[in-house]
A and B are shown apart, each in its own frame.
Chain A
Amino acid sequence: METMKRLVLKMGMLAAAVLLSQCALTVGLLHVAGGRLQNQLLRFDMYARLQHHLKLKTDIHYFGDCTLFTGKAGDKDNRSIPAMLQALCPGYAVAELSHPAYHMDLYLAFCQYIVKQGQHPKLVIIPINMRSFSPEWDRRPQYQFTREKTILAGGPKKYLLLAFDRLFMSLGYDLCAGSRDKYLREPVYCGDEKVGLVKDFLNPDFGKYSDEIMRDKLVFFYLYSLRPGHRKVRSLLEIARVLSLHSIPVIFYVMPIDCQTGEEFFPGLFSRRLAENVRVIRSALAETGNDVMDFSAAVPRGEFAWRQYPSEHIDSQGKLRVAEGLSSRLNGLLKR
């Protein structure tokens, strides 16, 4: 008993010393140390990149997911869309802030961070990936980016997270992880009709192809009915509000989708549902005085880079098509 008391007392003292040191270390790394040490603590490359561009006062902040930079095997031009845009508009500096699976909630956090820093870029570009509203993407635990959003939001939560997330991770618990079970139980709709749960649509045998799986994928990714109250639509509107409050111009555009393949499997329905969903976004943004460029059907099937099941990845031709569309809008907008 005496042994246990002594042990518990000393372990308690050690735990207290570690907690205090960890807090001091976090504050020290954030406010005293810089560069690599700080990045090691933050583990958030895009934050470091944003800081860099804010310091440089880069003109255009172009956010996006992996669609911006992925291409097709054998592409001669491997540039990302922002890099192509930069070449088309040499008079402006373009900052590429893209990462796989980034979405509207995170773009909002970035925009809020930019205005909080008192920064005023000449333009912000926000791509809208229609799949990001789908049940496949919306609640997927690894796509929530809770840690990144907390860091961008700042305040005491950020310090607590940075001080203790590694500690919890060392004990086998991820503070920022969403619930996979909850995600798997999310309903999947085709229009207004419930057609199953997420777990029914996550194809475990990804190596296989069948028309049936293809149809399921298309339903899972694109055939939901978007509501104006969807949390990502709300984030989109909040981006528009925040940027307009600070007089920062913004271009919203809907990313290309392989409509030809969609039509092949759901003739009539695919294009109609896609147009309805884009209309929801357009009318929501119209209320904030913003327009949306619609590239959803602008890229032909041959310019998509997906192999087995559809995604929004496009080849260099498709990317150039988007970059050219954006450059003409951008030139008009910034010369006004």
Chain B
Amino acid sequence: MVFYLVVVLAFYLTPARHRWAVMLLASYCFYASWQPAYALLLALMTAIDYFCARRIGRAKMTGDRRHYFLLSLLINFGLLLAFKYLAFLNETVRSVLPTAHFAPFLDLLAPIGISYYTLKKASYVIDVYRGNQEPEAHFGKFALYVSFFPEITAGPIDRAHSLLPQIHAVRAPEYSRVAGGLKLMAWGLFKKIVVADRLAIFVKAVFDHPQDHHGPLLLLAVLSFSIQIYADFSGYTDMAIGMAQILGYDLPDNFNRPYSARSIGEFWKRWHISLTTWLRDYLFLPVASALSRKIKRDHWLGMKADAWIYMSSISATMLLCGLWHGASWTFVAWGGLHGAYLILSLLTRKARGKWRKKILGPRPFLKPAYRWLRISLTFLAVSYIWIFFRANSLSDAAYIASNLLVVKGFHVNAFAQMGAELPIALAAAGLMVLVHVLQPHEGIRDMFAKRAAPFRWLFYVLLVLAIINLGKFNDVPFIYVQF
């Protein structure tokens, strides 16, 4: 907090044309506070991408452009692989061949935020290669784009065409932006330390020893984790966006009330938007496009070629999405199951459409109930596979997934034994859900701005009081920072 206040003061006291330098210095100080050596690595990787993008921009021959493009991708993803996945590969190889020693020297500690800034830099280089983005001429400003401290640890994964022009632009402080940023930060802090960190205590107690708990408690823990991970990650994002907004930068929204999605496909349009759009633009569409060029037949095994292309591309995308989150089989299973949901959704689309027409056609009054049913089913389906995301091992995940509805041996006192933390956490989660329901189509900032002053002030005071009195101030790390 002190760091951020110093940055804001230094930022606005510095002449506008040099503010990027203040931000760059702040970003590197922030990053180096974890591991100074990794700040050097970040600078080196930034320099390589800057150089490659400039070369791609200048090269006249397609072959040269491709060489620099591949060099950049190879270094970016090679380092990501080395830092994040070699230990996983090691472990996997050893589990199959216990005597094998697959690169044992590379069990490295991954630099914080490497998954995020790798994707950020890769999107920039790909865009330059595709001709969608001019290579940035100013090295310092490009380095700031890569290391921008509000988003370096856990996103949003900003695109160059969105952030770079803002780094070049000069903005005077505006009351509405600063006030809006502060409100967003407070709301994000509430979600993080009141909702997520309180729920985390209960969730951890159950997920660390699932065999000690029975169905209803397991079910409550799974649903609580759904809320926890949303509150944790969207809380972080709100704070990052708020911080950047106070400094005059607009970051993209990362969440759009994901649990009000009516299908898994819609869920992915609302959850971690900056990652899903990245995966769509740089993985799903290129894979689908490459497959459509290879496949010459219209139909295969009674299905359209387009359906096969979609299924193959979405499977690859979701498996890699799972793996991006962490080097563990639980994440692979989580991504794979999401892929399976999306495929199932495609395969049943026609049948569901017919059924919907048949049931709702003559009974339009059932439409709102049907909408809520879809929202609830989507939430339950997403929650069910969060089990794989949160569980400590595949065997724990399998135990939880198969015992959710087992009531035998359960006593209602088990809830009481969880102490006062759980009711408080659930009440705070209820408040968060209520605010989300009240903001149907607008963001939280607009929602505040449109309400009458006494309501707004009451809400602000209650929000700050809740943070002070119900917050957990013991530095629980953000879930998504570990990725």
**Which positions in A face B, CB cutoff 8 Å?**
2-4, 6-7, 10, 14, 17-18, 21-22, 25, 36, 39-41, 166-167, 169-172
- Asked if A22 contacts B178 (CB within 8 A), the reply is no
Q: Counting CB contacts under 8 A, is B139 at the interface?
A: no
User: Is there a chain A Cβ closer than 8 Å to B418's Cβ?
Assistant: no
Taking a contact as CB atoms under 8 Å apart, the answer to whether A10 and B461 are in contact is no
Question: Is B4 positioned at the interface, with any CB of A under 8 Å from its CB?
Answer: no
Pairwise interchain contact B471-A170, C-beta atoms closer than 8 A:
yes
Residues on A with C-beta less than 8 A from B457 are 14, 17
With A6-B175, A7-B175, A39-B420 as contacts: A170 and B465 at CB distance below 8 Å: no
Q: B1 near A22 (CB under 8 angstroms)?
A: no
Chain B 459-476 interface 0/1 with A at a Cβ cutoff of 8 Å (1 = within): 011001101110101000
Q: Once the chains bind, are A166 and B424 in contact (CB under 8 Å)?
A: no
Cβ-based interface call for B179 (8 A): yes
CB <8 Å contact, B1 and A25: no
Q: Which of B364-379 contact A (CB under 8 A)?
A: none
Asked whether B174 lies within 8 Å of A3 as measured between CB atoms, the reply is: yes
Name the residue of chain A whose CB is nearest to the CB of B421. A40
Evaluate whether A172 and B1 lie within 8 angstroms (CB atoms) in the complex, with A3-B174, A4-B173, A21-B461 already known: yes
User: How far is the CB of A15 from the nearest CB of chain B, in Å?
Assistant: 9
B96 to chain A, nearest CB (A): 33
Partner pick for B461 among A17, A39, A167, CB 8 A cutoff? A17
Q: How far is the CB of B472 from chain A (nearest CB, A)?
A: 10
Point out the residues of chain B lying under 8 angstroms from A18, CB to CB.
Answer: 461, 464-465, 468
B406 to chain A minimum Cβ distance, whole angstroms, is: 30
Residues of B within 8 A of A2 (CB): 175
The reply to whether B473 and A170 contact each other, CB–CB distance below 8 Å, is yes
Number of interface residues of B (CB under 8 A): 18
Task: Check A14–B461 contact: CB distance below 8 A.
Answer: yes
Please report which residues of chain B, range 141-192, place their CB below 8 angstroms from some CB of chain A when the two chains form the complex.
173-175, 178-179
Complex-state Cα separation, A167 to B464, whole angstroms = 10
Count of chain A to chain B residue pairs whose CB atoms are closer than 8 Å in the complex: 45
* In-complex Cβ contact of B465 among A6, A21, A172 (8 A): A21
What are 23 of the A-B contact pairs (CB < 8 Å)? A2-B175, A3-B173, A3-B174, A3-B175, A6-B175, A7-B175, A7-B179, A14-B461, A14-B464, A18-B465, A21-B461, A22-B469, A25-B465, A39-B420, A41-B469, A166-B468, A166-B471, A167-B468, A169-B473, A170-B467, A170-B468, A170-B473, A171-B1
Task: Write the nearest CB–CB distance from B270 to chain A, whole angstroms.
Answer: 31
A10 touches B468 (CB 8 A): no
Contact of A40 with B465 in the complex, beta carbons under 8 Å: no
- 8 A Cβ contacts from B428-483 to A: 457, 460-461, 464-465, 467-469, 471, 473
A172 contacts across to B, CB distance below 8 A: 1, 473
Task: Write the chain B residue with the least CB distance to A39.
Answer: B420
Assembly CA distance A166 to B179 (angstroms): 24
Closest 4 CB pairs of A and B: A3-B175, A18-B464, A166-B468, A17-B461
Q: How far is the CA of A167 from the CA of B178 in the complex (A)?
A: 23
In the assembled complex, the Cα of A4 lies from the Cα of B12 at a distance in Å of 11
State the majority secondary structure of interface residues on A: helix
- 16 extra interchain contacts, Cβ-Cβ under 8 A, other than A3-B173, A21-B461, A41-B469? A2-B175, A3-B174, A3-B175, A3-B178, A6-B175, A10-B179, A14-B460, A14-B461, A14-B464, A18-B461, A18-B465, A18-B468, A25-B469, A166-B468, A166-B471, A170-B471
- Report the bound CA distance from A22 to B469 in whole Å: 9
A18 nearest CB neighbor, chain B only: B464
Q: Which residue of chain A has the shortest Cβ distance to B460 in the bound complex? A: A14
Say yes or no: B473 contacts A22, CB within 8 Å.
no
B190 to A: closest C-beta gap in Å = 11
Distance (whole angstroms) from the CB of B352 to the closest CB of chain A:
46
Q: Which residue of B lies closest to A35 (CB)?
A: B420
CA–CA, A39 and B419, complex, Å: 11
- Complex Cα spacing A4 to B465, Å: 24
Chain B positions within 8 Å of A36 at CB level = 420
Query: Which chain A residue has the least Cβ–Cβ distance from B12?
Result: A4
Give chain A residues whose Cβ lies under 8 Å from the Cβ of B469.
Answer: 22, 25, 41, 166
CA distance A6 to B178 in the complex (A): 11
B175 and A22 form a contact (CB under 8 A): no
Residues of B within 8 A of A170 (CB): 467-468, 471, 473
**A4 proximity list for chain B (CB < 8 A):** 173
Q: A18-B461, A21-B461 are in contact. Are A7 and B178 (CB under 8 A)?
A: yes
Chain B residues with CB under 8 A of A25 = 465, 469
Residues of B within 8 A of A41 (CB): 469
C-alpha spacing A167/B174, complex, angstroms: 28
Chain B contacts with A in 384-442, Cβ cutoff 8 A: 420, 424
Q: Which residues of B contact A21 (CB under 8 A)?
A: 461, 465
Give the distance to chain A from B448, nearest Cβ to Cβ, in Å.
Answer: 13
A51 CB to nearest B CB, Å: 16
User: Are B175 and A40 in contact, CB atoms less than 8 angstroms apart?
Assistant: no
Shortest distance in angstroms between A269's beta carbon and chain B's nearest beta carbon? 43
With a 10 A CB-CB cut-off, give which of B424, B460, B468, B469 has the most chain A CB atoms.
B468
* Cα A2 to Cα B174 with chains together (Å): 9
By beta carbon, the residue of chain B nearest A37 is B420
User: Which of chain A's residues have a CB closer than 8 A to the CB of B420?
Assistant: 36, 39-40
Q: A21 CA to B461 CA in the complex, in Å?
A: 8
Query: Which chain A positions have C-beta within 8 A of B464?
Result: 14, 18
B173 touches A22 (CB 8 A): no
Residues of the A chain whose Cβ atoms lie less than 8 Å from the Cβ of B467: 170
B93 → A minimal CB distance (Å): 31
A10 to B461, CA, bound (A): 12
Chain A residues with CB under 8 A of B173: 3-4
| A166 CA to B457 CA, complexed, in Å | 21
Bound-state Cα–Cα, A167 to B460, Å: 15
Measured between alpha carbons, how far is A169 from B469 in the docked complex, in Å? 10
Q: What are the residues of chain B within 8 A of A167 when measuring CB–CB? A: 468
A172–B4 Cα distance when bound, in Å, is 14
For the complex formed, measure the closest distance between the CB of B461 and the CB atoms of chain A, giving whole angstroms.
5
CB of B189, distance to nearest CB on chain A (Å) = 9
Residue of A nearest to B424 (CB): A40
Q: Determine the chain A residues whose CB is within 8 A of the CB of B179 once the complex forms.
A: 7, 10
Residues of B within 8 A of A39 (CB): 420
* Most central of A18, A22, A41, A167 by chain B CB within 10 Å: A18
Report B470 CB to chain A, min CB distance, Å: 8
Closest approach, in angstroms, between the C-beta of A174 and any C-beta of chain B? 9
